[in-house]
Structure 1
Amino acid sequence: QSVGTQIYMAHQIHKTALVMHSAERMFHLVNDVPRYPEFLPWCAGAEVVEEGEGYRVASLDIAKGGMHHKLTTRNQVQEPESIEISLADGPLKSLTGRWQFHSLDDNACKVILTLDFEFSGSLSRMAFGPVFKYVANTMVDAFCRRADELYGRGSV
């Protein structure tokens, strides 16, 4: 009998941004999953597959560098303060995260994204790792740019 040992490496990404848009606007932008392909270059498709009281299940088709992966998350929604993310299905061993929107005044907020994730094995890490890390590291900036496009650029 062969006994194998797998070593999982946990990763964490923590991004923050101060934006000249209300917490409500930023919340709605992040929560509007079907529009992701309009402005996220790595998102080939996005849909809400289930929705209920305070939650949504959403699937993203992530495509970059010839690689395609489908990632489905269950999102606990607390409008307009936060969106809690947990893995429902996809090429990861685990994924949890949280978007937070802290109002600073009527036209400014602090956006925080924290993601904790593990790949399911070395093959998954090699195939999906660089793509997922790129996606996670560029997400907050992409949403901030989208807010400026939709709502105008705020002034400090």
Structure 2
Amino acid sequence: MTVVQRSAFTPFSPAQMYALVNDVEAYPAFLPWCERAELLAHEATRMRARLTVNKGRFRYAFTTENRLVPDRSIELDLVEGPFRRFRGTWRFDAADGGCVVAFNVEFEFSSRVLGFAMGAAFKPIADSLVDAFKRRAYAVHGG
């Protein structure tokens, strides 16, 4: 299983950063590997979303059920996709003059062959997410 943990301070509020991460349908506009993002269901504390990833010669879709705690956290659990295991958490913690954004994900592809082939494409995506959302915050909110 692969574990990725990243965090960064941003000069934006937890509410602003939460809103950007929770805006799944906007992902294709600023995440170059995200070919498509679909919101399948949405309630105040839950969301189901499907992302289609296109990185190099690999293209696959996966669906997560997301538990939402507005302005604080988003927990992601796999519904379907090429993973045996996929669990992630976004946290948005207030800090002096902004917010610390933390992303943790554990994933394992459904087969070793798939993991060997697609893991090399997916791990850099997971590694870069916090920085991608930080750049998005500057683009949307200025600063």
1:12 is matched with: 3
Give unpaired runs (5+ residues) of structure 2: none
1:54 to 29, 45, 70: 45
2:132 to 112, 121, 142: 142
Count of equivalent residues: 143
2:99 aligned with 1:109, yes or no?
A: yes
Whole-angstrom CA distance in 1 between matches of 2:54 and 2:22: 20
Aligned Cα root-mean-square deviation (Å): 1.0
For 2:51, the aligned partner's letter is: L
1:78 positional shift: 0.2
The alignment's TM-score, normalised by the length of structure 1, stands at: 0.88
1:123 positional shift: 1.5
1:74-127 deviations in Å (ceiling 9; x for gaps): 10000010000111111110011100000114x500000000111211121122
Whole-angstrom CA distance in 1 between matches of 2:44 and 2:130: 26
Identity %: 37
Structure number with greater Rg is: 1
For 1:119, the aligned partner's letter is: F
For 1:40, the aligned partner's letter is: L
The alignment's TM-score, normalised by the length of structure 2, stands at: 0.96
1:53 positional shift: 4.0
Contact kept? 1:91, 1:128, Cα under 8 Å = no
Aligned residue for 2:12, secondary structure, equals coil
1:127 is matched with: 117
1:7 is matched with: none
Whole-angstrom CA distance in 2 between matches of 1:90 and 1:76: 18
Whole-angstrom CA distance in 2 between matches of 1:51 and 1:22: 23
Taking a change above 3 Å as real, the CA distance of residues 24 and 53 of structure 1, as seen in their structure-2 partners, is closer
For 1:66, the aligned partner's letter is: R
Aligned residue for 2:37, secondary structure, equals strand
Give unpaired runs (5+ residues) of structure 1: 1-9
Farther off after superposition, 117-126 or 136-145: 117-126
1:52 positional shift: 2.6
1:70 is matched with: 61
1:146 positional shift: 0.5
